[in-house]
Chain A
Amino acid sequence: MNPLLLKGVLPYGEGDPVDVLVRDGVIAEIGAIDADDVETIDGNGAVLLPGFVDLHTHLREPGREDTETIETGSKAAALGGYTAVFAMANTDPVADNAVIVEHVWRRGREVGLVDVHPIGAVTVGLKGEKLAELGTMAKSAAGVRVFSDDGHCVHDPLIMRRALEYSKALDVVVAQHAEEPRLTVGAQAHEGEQAARLGLQGWPAAAEESIVARDCLLALHAEARLHICHVSTTGTADVLKWAKARGTKVSAEVTPHHLLLTDDRLSTYDPVNKVNPPLRATADVQALRRALAEGVIDCVATDHAPHAVQDKDCEWSAARPGMLGLQTALSVVVEAMVKTGLLDWRGVARVMSERPAEIAGLPDQGRPIAVGEPANLVLVDPDATWTVRGAELASVAGNTPFEGMELPGVVTATLLRGRVTAGRIPA
């Protein structure tokens, strides 16, 4: 692979522009570099960050290739600045065995635009009844490091306890979709003023918070690690703060959409705004932003969830929950966290790259921008803005709630081990 020179970039958005030379997949030199014979990307003062890591995507392959494939999802990820993504297990067939996770892992490698790490199911068929073969998946070629029944809650406390205990021997983490199923039967929207007005069955915050509290207690008891998917309420942030203070090995993610959008958007009944957990109230959005800034919530994960037109352009209750996220995540984080002064670019690197890489145990992602480190990098133009158009995104599906919104922050290039995977390939 030819060396590549990034001219005039600001690592972490700090200091004066420097040049970064990438060779053999690693950062070879940082400073004032003049090299005429090397392919060059003119950074023009762009912010250089470690490549993003997404702990939560739905790439829909195998099973729903009409909405997304590992190839199109990888393209979207690279364009969004990601160098590693985790693909949830709720495919068809379910990724609850080594054959499926190895298939996903291999397809990711063939496409080669982003490291695709399959997430294994915690229970067979996501049914919550019997542990899947976690060990076999962890030791497969895919080397599964994260397990989740996402889309479903591992609601049986005994099964959850066993999963947490068992995971310790494998040095893997169980990621919980926290939703007490009995409290959310038929739930359609955040239980509050909007749902009451619109006649939509409520999804109470307590249905999330009670499971998070329970699982934090179980994780502490089992001395196991626990990751909480898509935190959406003020109360969950409070529970996490409390659990962390007690020494619980718990980490948590928040989605970009829960950092920016509220249930005020539901008045149109357009299911593009339907997602699980649902869009919450303004106070929740503010609390989630604070929790992310303070590190109570560790990272941002997209919960990228492509859906076919017919599953979204229908009546609210018939629509599938979920929204695209990979290509809009950075811009939403800039809008919600950077523009508001809650995070600087170092903070963005922490929540988008470093912490998720640590949580999943990826040795070559989320690394410092320093000589000798892997060249998994993203270049961001902080001053540029763009207008989101679902049809122009790389995903097969186009269900973005940010349609038509003008957002700040544009990914100008993504490098995976020194190779440009998105952005202008230098001439």
Chain B
Amino acid sequence: MKHLLSTEGLDRATATSILDTADNLKRALLGREVRKLPTLRGRTVITLFYENSTRTRVSFEIAGKWMSADVINVSAGGSSVSKGESLRDTALTLAAAGADCVIVRHPASGAAHRLAGWLAQAGTSVVNAGDGMHEHPTQALLDAATLRERLGSIEGRRIAIVGDVLHSRVVRSNVHLLSALGADVVLVAPPTLLPVGVQNWPVTVSHELDAELPSLDAVMLLRVQAERMHGGFFPSAREYSIAYGLNENRLGLMPEHAVVLHPGPMLRGMEIASAVADSPRAAITDQVRNGVHLRMAVLYHLLAHEEETS
């Protein structure tokens, strides 16, 4: 694997192999005093973030450091990016400076694909850490790792994703990956937050959360962004919360074993009640923890794996 740009097209074997690697890394680090593996010593990994992010950037940085890579963080605010340099020039500069891997987050859908094209000659690997409304593949992989850990398996499981499907890159990555892994995906949202064309996705679409809850093995909630509230996508935060917010009553409608996921950051009291977020049914901190191991696994597959197999 040269790049990780999307989960679309990621086959089941490759995805499973990444998840297995993440599990192995997690076990290898368990109980160690020094959480550091030498695998990527001498490799340079650059995170290039054009959007604010705490958890994703930190997660990648820790993953790189635990693998002994040299990790450099570039953010749009504190570099030549703010001087109006193009994404292409920035990418070529980072590659020329010696980056083995660029982890990019950008507000434009397809930005990571374009970056991979521009860096093809330099041989630099690209990881998509979120491109516009398109994909966020490592989020979907860490969600899958968490689901597998909590439920034991993903095949045949019924998983609902609730919220702003239209603008969410997390949804697109999860739909592709969870379907590839054999899950049964239900998207729950008001019609205004579903894209035209969703009929062709390998999912079931519903506007009634309560009707779906009893048959679910997991529910994944999406953050409702403030601009959607003001953008007329639904009448009010209150009405959204009443129809789609996961509160304790709704948690009670789900089977005992069913888990709650949220990619964060959460809007407590809006899409998720505090009592639900903090309940043992919620796997939200597990997601963050697994995120580091999963991203270590991705870096391993991109930067180390190839050498060993070839």
Contacts and interface: CB of A to CB of B under 8 A. Distances in A.
Contact of B114 (A194, A197, A199, A315): A315
A1 B106 CA distance: 60
Given A197-B172, A269-B114, A313 B196 contact: no
A198 B134 contact: yes
A318 interface: yes
Interface string A302-318: 00000000100111111
Interface in A278-325: 310, 313-318
Nearest to B115: A315
A194 B197 contact: yes
A201 B106 CA distance: 15
A195 interface: yes
Given A315-B114, A317-B107, A317-B132, A199 B169 contact: yes
A316 B195 contact: no
A193 B198 CA distance: 7
A316 B88 CA distance: 12
Given A199-B169, A201-B133, A315 B196 contact: no
Interface residues of A, number: 24
A181 to B, nearest CB: 16
A316 B107 CA distance: 10
B87 A314 contact: yes
A269 B110 contact: yes
Contacts of B107: 317
Contacts of A188: 109
A200 interface: yes
Contacts of B88: 313-314
A235 to B, nearest CB: 14
Instruction: Give the interface residue-count category, chain B.
Output: 20 to 34
A196 B197 CA distance: 6
A196 B110 contact: no
Nearest to B86: A314
B131 A197 contact: no
A315 B197 contact: no
A208 interface: no
B113 A268 contact: yes
B196 A199 contact: no
A316 B198 contact: no
B133 A199 contact: yes
A389 B240 CA distance: 53
B210 interface: no
B197 A198 contact: no
Interface string A216-240: 0000000000000000000000000
Contact of B109 (A191, A200, A204): A200
A89 B46 CA distance: 45
A199 B134 contact: yes
A269 B200 CA distance: 20
A310 B89 CA distance: 10
Contacts of B96: none
Contact of A198 (B86, B87, B110, B201): B110
Contacts of B87: 314-315, 318
A202 B110 CA distance: 15
A278 to B, nearest CB: 13
A353 B181 CA distance: 56
A13 interface: no
Interface in B166-216: 169, 172, 195-198, 200-201
A151 interface: no
Given A199-B172, A314-B114, A269 B195 contact: no
Contact of A318 (B8, B108, B172, B198): B108
B111 interface: yes
Contacts of B114: 269-270, 314-316
Contact of B197 (A197, A316, A317): A197
Given A197-B8, A199-B169, A315 B110 contact: yes
B26 to A, nearest CB: 30
B134 A317 contact: no
B108 A317 contact: yes
B217 interface: no
Contacts of B111: 315-316
A318 B201 CA distance: 27
Interface string B67-98: 00000000000000000001110000000000
A302 B239 CA distance: 48
B86 A269 contact: no
Nearest to A268: B113
Interface in A169-213: 188, 191-202, 204
A314 B107 CA distance: 13
B135 interface: yes
Nearest to B172: A199
B197 A192 contact: yes
Q: 7 nearest interchain CB pairs?
A: A269-B110, A199-B134, A196-B197, A199-B133, A196-B195, A315-B108, A193-B197
18 contacts: A192-B196, A193-B197, A195-B196, A197-B201, A198-B134, A199-B109, A199-B132, A199-B133, A199-B134, A199-B135, A199-B172, A200-B109, A200-B133, A202-B196, A314-B86, A315-B87, A317-B108, A317-B109
Given A191-B197, A314-B87, 6 more contacts: A195-B196, A196-B201, A199-B169, A204-B196, A314-B88, A317-B108
Interface of B: 8, 86-88, 106-111, 113-114, 131-135, 169, 172, 195-198, 200-201
